[in-house]
Amino acid sequence: MSDNTPRVTLVTGGSGGIGRAVAERLAHDGHAVGVHYAGNKARADETVAAITSAGGRALAVGGDVADEHEMSAVFDAVEKEFGGIDVVVNTAGVMKLSPIATLDLDDLDRIHRTNIRGTFVVSQQAARRVRRGGAIINFATSVRRLALPTYGAYAASKAAVEAMTPILARELRGKDITVNAVAPGPTPTPLFLEGKDQATIDNLAKAPPMERLGTPQDSAEVVAFLAGPARWINGQVLFANGGLA
C-alpha cells in the first residue's frame, strides 16, 4: 500500500467511549472509518455524523463481535464502501465487577464471549483481510497488572487478549501487518463508571503519578500511533495509564 493511499479502518465498539474517540481521531488523521456497533445504532450514527460533518468519511456497521457470520458481513460492508481494510481496532468489550466467589457464572460467560471470543473472531477476520502495511490493534487493560479485587473475570478476559496479540503478530510474519494491544488505565467511560461511588473514582484518579484519570483521547492517541507511524512496534502491549502500573 502506498503511503499516499488513504487508510481504511474498522473500529469495533466505535459508537461510544474509547471507541468513538478512536474513530474520530483516526478520521481526523485521514482514515475512512467503519464505526461498528452491537446494539445502539443511534449512537453509531451520531459518531458517523460527527466525522462526516468534520469532512471525514464514515459508515455505521452493526453486528455481534462474537458471531463470525455477522462480523464477516461487517468486514464485507466496510470493504464494499471503502475498497479494502488497512486497520482494525478492537475496542468492543463488556465488564461486570464482582468478587470471584460470588460472580454469577452467566456473567462470566457473557464477559468472555464478548472480550475473548469477540476479539478472536474479529482478529481472525482481520488476519484474513487487512492489507499489507496495515495494523491490528486490540484492547487489553491495566487492571491485569493492578490485580484489583472484583475485577477477576474482566482481567482474566483481557489477559487472554494479551496472550493472543503477540501470537497473531508472529503468525502474520511476512505480511507487513503489525499486531499490538493498548492497555488503558482507569478512564471515565460508562463502562468504567458503572457501579463505582465518587470516593472510589477519586482514589483511582489520585493513584497515577499524573494524578488524574485517563481520557478516551489518551487511548486514541496511542491507537493513532500504532495505526500509522509505529511500523517497528509489533506484538506488544502498550500500557497507557499515566504511570499507574
Query: What is the tens place of the pLDDT at every residue in 138-153?
Result: 999 999 998 889 999 9
Domain ranges across the chain: 8-185+217-239
Predicted pLDDT of residue 195: 65
Q: What percent of the chain has pLDDT over 70?
A: 96
Sheet of 32-37: strands edge to edge? 57-62, 32-37, 8-12, 87-90, 135-139, 178-184, 237-240
pLDDT digit string, tens, across residues 152-186? 999 999 999 999 999 999 999 999 999 999 999 88
CATH 3.30.70.270 for domain 8-185+217-239, yes or no, is: no
Summarize the confidence of residues 84-97 as an average pLDDT.
96
Using left for φ > 0, alpha for ψ between -120 and 50, and beta otherwise, residue 225 falls in alpha
Q: What is the pTM of this model?
A: 0.93
- Catalytic, 151? Answer no
pLDDT digit string, tens, across residues 20-58? 999 999 999 999 999 999 989 999 999 999 999 999 999
CA distance to 89, 174, 178, per residue, from 132 (Å): 16, 9, 9
Predicted pLDDT of residue 76: 98
Predicted pLDDT of residue 3: 55
Catalytic entry in 154, 184, 207, 240? 154
DSSP 63: -
Judge whether residue 1 has pLDDT over 50: no
Judge whether residue 192 has pLDDT over 80: no
Predicted pLDDT of residue 210: 84
Judge whether residue 82 has pLDDT over 80: yes
Judge whether residue 207 has pLDDT over 90: no
Judge whether residue 5 has pLDDT over 90: no
